[in-house]
Structure 1
């Protein structure tokens, strides 16, 4: 879960448009590919989905980011199809808190 889930104008009255909503799975694809430098294949393995699925998720996330940057729209991160690791599940694929390695 991202620490900050809302980006944009502090004065919501200035933005006549509703916020652009980025799902958590889209955020995770951006975080893994652009933030951690993983390939789409590595990202797919980490997210436990097909590479083609990651490609579609990533493409949609980048469109949303571009729209927010170019048009100045507010970005809200919420929703999507995901399971969060609670740090106790030994069978998850987060590779961080559960003792698994890549």
Structure 2
């Protein structure tokens, strides 16, 4: 029997959850779906400059898990960019950061975030 999946800690949901080429026709091709935890690894490593080790501590998962998630996310981004596909960010096993941890250093959780993100989407996700 496989181990149960551990929820990954995510500081914030993306402000936009759908991306794609300007000239994309609706429903012509199935969009590439990226999980929220994959988005978080891209945000922490590529945007915030975290190492995989720092990312694993932030997300409360093993470094090897971060490496696998990050590789999967990069393949999906490459597929969208090279093949002109639409990217949708949704789903996955994650828990939103409550902002109460002193070790939270990403700047993305509600407590540390400077830019406004609609609390409605966060509350909606937490209630599911």
TM-score interval for Structure 1 and Structure 2 normalised by the shorter chain: 0.7 to 0.9
SS of aligned partner of 1:58: helix
Inter-partner Cα distance in structure 2 for 1:26 and 1:92: 24
Aligned residues: CA RMSD: 2.1
Write out aligned runs for 1:1-102 (5 A): 1-9=13-21, 13=25, 16-87=28-99, 90-91=100-101, 94-95=104-105, 96=107, 97=111
Greater Cα shift, 77-86 or 50-59: 77-86
For the 8 Å contact 1:68–1:75, the answer to whether it is kept is yes
Residue 12 of structure 1, CA deviation: 5.4
> Which runs of 4 or more aligned residues in structure 1 lie more than 2 Å from their structure 2 counterparts after TM superposition?
9-16, 90-96
- Structure holding more helix per residue: 1
What's the offset of the Cα at 1:92? 8.2
> Which consecutive residues of structure 1, in runs of 5 or more, have no partner in the other structure?
none
Output the TM-score relative to the length of structure 2. Answer: 0.67
Give the length in aligned residue pairs.
Answer: 96
